Structure 1
């Protein structure tokens, strides 16, 4: 109300949306106020509510918050994360073998699965299947780790360093594969942000990354590696849990583990 005043929904106009954007920017603590990403996040929260109200009350207006201009949006966009070269990836994996502890096992798992960090640090021992013809992990939601999208639920073959990491983790105590990342409260989610900070610090301190590379770069790297072996897009999506782009992509049971492993063995 401090921005629009006490008006009815059908009197909302583009000017109100623009004033809202300016207000969000001005309330930031930094010298330039809130950045474009923060403004966009607020708009994504507000706009759907207005759209729903317009539809439900059958109002003859267009949502003025749709398509509103965000100043300096292009400047505020994140720089793309850099992938690892083959040599860089091998150097990290060798360093993990040398250190040989739970945090390094997690990095090794990331390096040869392309999974999200939260998915890996939230793995339970019951999610690891080593006695199958195709050893694999089962990524599924549970109280200690929610999934980002429906496509995130999947099975990923274990190869190379990821298989080694799983074998090491199965020897630890507790239900989690990597109990170092266990939350303080049993039913609380694992703290992926804390894990990210710790693992990124180790990579940086040991000069294993260059500018633009982070723990999330393993995910970008896996996508590149799959392209290099000419894996079909659907195979790459199935391995990485990337969201399906069309309705047709969601039909059927997807690829068998053996077929996914066939491509991963080429990496």
Structure 2
């Protein structure tokens, strides 16, 4: 009876949590796991991932959690290092992409000609498949981490720019903006002092939600051979190389890196969605 009562009390505690508490727990857990992955990958020296032909193609074990590959390299170490590299590229790409989105959204608010130009530019970028455009930009910049980063950044700003453009249009019709214009305040002053503080929450959420898309597209382009160098321990390269050995029964070479990438992307998505709930006035006080 006491054991069942304790279980019921635990469920009661979880059920009594409001949306804010549950949201904070989800954000905290996701952030903790992501930070651990990045820190661990940062301290892994790529030169430590050495080949050992005596343990090549070994299945998962206590000594090698994700098994070993065709060169005897530990797949767990390679996977963690690859995830850290993906997070770094996703971080810088999402930041740069958000800067582009904010700049174009505010540019469209200056006059109707710039607004038409920004609207046309968004439609042009949305009409081209992301993967194709990333590949073209990456090849033009010589490939590598820099080429992929720029390619991802210049293809993921469109959705955020469209949302910000619509929100800025709505804010510009507000009474306080009209009063500022009548008082002779410049458009730059209005944008910096009155509009930016009202859209900053959407910028934060948009930046976080760009993360998983940036990571997936980086891995996809690298998997196709147009991204990072084959010498980099990237997830896309690991998955691409493992395709050659799946027919021989080495299932762990693709399963664990792919599953780790999926979990990482889901964590970013969960964190972004919950932060969006926190910043939404309709649900923040539930």
TM range (shorter): under 0.3
The one of the two structures with greater contact order (alpha-carbon pairs below 8 A, sep at least 6) is 2
Structure with greater proportional helix content = 2
TM-score w.r.t. the length of structure 1 is 0.22
